[in-house]
Structure 1
Amino acid sequence: MEAKDNVKRLTNTLVESAACPSGRPNVIVWDDKVKGLGVRINAAGTVRTYLLQYRVKGTRQERQIKIGRHNDPWRIDQARAKAMALKVEMLDGVDPVVRDQQKVEADRAAAVLTEAQTITLRQVMEHYVQHQRTRHGALRAASIRDIERHVTVNLADWADEPVASIKRDACIERFDAISESSPSQAAQCFANLRALLNHARDMFETDDGEYPLLAVNPVQRMFKKRKPKPEKPRDTRVPLDRVRAVWAMLEKRRAAARTVDDRTSADWVSFMLLTGTRKTESGSLLWSNVDFEAGTFHLPGDVVKNHNGITLPMSTPLRALLKSRRELPEPSEKVAERRRAERSSEYVFPSWGRLGYITDADATMQAVSEVAGTRVTIHDLRRTFVDVCAQVGVSADRERLLTNHISGDVHARHYANSKQALTADVEAIAKWITAEV
Structure 2
Amino acid sequence: MGAISDNRIKFNKPNLKAIENRINRGEFTKETYIYDADSHLAVRVRPGRSYIDSVFCMYARIRVRGEYKSRMYKRQIMKVGEARNAEITISELRQKVDSLFLEIQEGRDPQVIAQKEAAKQADNQVLIEARRSFKDMIYGTPVDESDECLPDGFIAERRSGQRYLVDIRNKCEVLLVDLLDLPLHSISPEQVKTVYLQKVGRGKTQLDCAMRILRSIWNWAQTKYDDSDLFIRNPVSRAMKQLGVNINRTNRCTGRLDDADFKPYLKSVLALREHDHTSAYRNGRDALLFMLFSGVRRTGTMTVRMEGIDLNRLVFNIIKKGGDQVELPLNTVTAAIVRNRQDYLPEDTEYLFPGMGGRGYYRDTKAVRDIVKNQTGISVTNHDLRRTYKSIGTELDINSVLVDELLSHAREGVDAHYIHPSMTRLRDASQKIADYMVKQAGFDLIDELTSRW
TM-score by length of 1: 0.61
Matched letter for residue 195 of structure 2 = R
Give SS of 1:51's match. strand
In the comparison of the two structures, how many residue pairs are matched?
A: 383
C-alpha separation in 2, matches of 1:236 and 1:251: 26
Other-structure match for 1:183: 204
TM-aligned CA distance change 1:109 to 1:154, over 3 Å: same
Matched letter for residue 6 of structure 1 = K
C-alpha separation in 1, matches of 2:51 and 2:19: 6
Give SS of 1:7's match. coil
Shift of 1:20: 1.4
Which stretch of structure 1 is more off in the superposition, 166-175 or 23-32?
A: 23-32
Other-structure match for 1:348: 352
C-alpha separation in 2, matches of 1:432 and 1:178: 52
C-alpha separation in 1, matches of 2:60 and 2:388: 84
The answer to whether the 8 Å contact 2:438/2:444 transfers is no
Matched letter for residue 328 of structure 1 = Y
TM-aligned CA distance change 1:286 to 1:217, over 3 Å: same
1:52 aligns with 2:68: no
C-alpha separation in 1, matches of 2:111 and 2:254: 71
Give SS of 1:65's match. strand
Give SS of 1:214's match. coil
TM-aligned CA distance change 1:236 to 1:176, over 3 Å: farther
CA RMSD of aligned residues (A): 5.6
Give SS of 1:63's match. strand
1:358 aligns with 2:356: no
C-alpha separation in 1, matches of 2:272 and 2:116: 73
1:327 aligns with 2:358: no
The answer to whether the 8 Å contact 1:272/1:282 transfers is yes
Shift of 1:122: 1.4
C-alpha separation in 2, matches of 1:421 and 1:3: 81
Shift of 1:44: 2.0
1:192 aligns with 2:199: no
Tell me which of 209, 216, 222 is aligned to 2:233: 216
Shift of 1:67: 2.6
Shift of 1:328: 0.7
The answer to whether the 8 Å contact 1:15/1:39 transfers is no
TM-aligned CA distance change 1:419 to 1:212, over 3 Å: same
Shift of 1:213: 5.2
Shift of 1:184: 1.6
Matched letter for residue 326 of structure 1 = Q
C-alpha separation in 1, matches of 2:238 and 2:95: 58
1:64 aligns with 2:74: yes
Other-structure match for 1:5: 9
Describe the superposition over 1:139-174 as per-residue Cα deviations: whole angstroms up to 9, x where unpaired.
Answer: 655345434544455446766765434443333333
Shift of 1:253: 4.0
Matched letter for residue 74 of structure 2 = Q
TM-aligned CA distance change 1:84 to 1:155, over 3 Å: farther
Describe the superposition over 1:326-367 as per-residue Cα deviations: whole angstroms up to 9, x where unpaired.
Answer: 2116xxxxxxxxx4432xx3x4213489x9543324554565
Give % identity: 18
Shift of 1:227: 2.4
C-alpha separation in 2, matches of 1:245 and 1:425: 13
C-alpha separation in 1, matches of 2:27 and 2:42: 17
Other-structure match for 1:426: 438
Matched letter for residue 221 of structure 1 = R
Other-structure match for 1:332: none
TM-aligned CA distance change 1:429 to 1:272, over 3 Å: farther
Matches within 5 A, 1:225-236: 225=242, 226-228=245-247
Shift of 1:79: 4.7
Shift of 1:271: 5.0
Other-structure match for 1:201: 222
Give SS of 1:327's match. helix
Other-structure match for 2:144: none
1:252 aligns with 2:274: yes
C-alpha separation in 1, matches of 2:356 and 2:62: 73
Shift of 1:396: 9.3
TM-aligned CA distance change 1:368 to 1:79, over 3 Å: farther
Matches within 5 A, 1:45-124: 45-47=51-53, 49-57=55-63, 59-69=69-79, 70-71=82-83, 75-76=88-89, 79=93, 82-92=96-106, 94=108, 98-118=112-132, 120-123=137-140
TM-aligned CA distance change 1:365 to 1:175, over 3 Å: same
TM-aligned CA distance change 1:51 to 1:162, over 3 Å: farther
TM-aligned CA distance change 1:252 to 1:78, over 3 Å: farther
The answer to whether the 8 Å contact 1:289/1:299 transfers is yes
The answer to whether the 8 Å contact 1:19/1:41 transfers is no
C-alpha separation in 1, matches of 2:166 and 2:275: 31
C-alpha separation in 2, matches of 1:78 and 1:157: 65
TM-aligned CA distance change 1:94 to 1:424, over 3 Å: closer
TM-score by length of 2: 0.59
Tell me which of 160, 163, 166 is aligned to 1:142: 163
C-alpha separation in 1, matches of 2:213 and 2:116: 38
Shift of 1:80: 5.5
Describe the superposition over 1:2-57 as per-residue Cα deviations: whole angstroms up to 9, x where unpaired.
Answer: 9542234x8xxx9997861324447757495xx42456677523236443344434
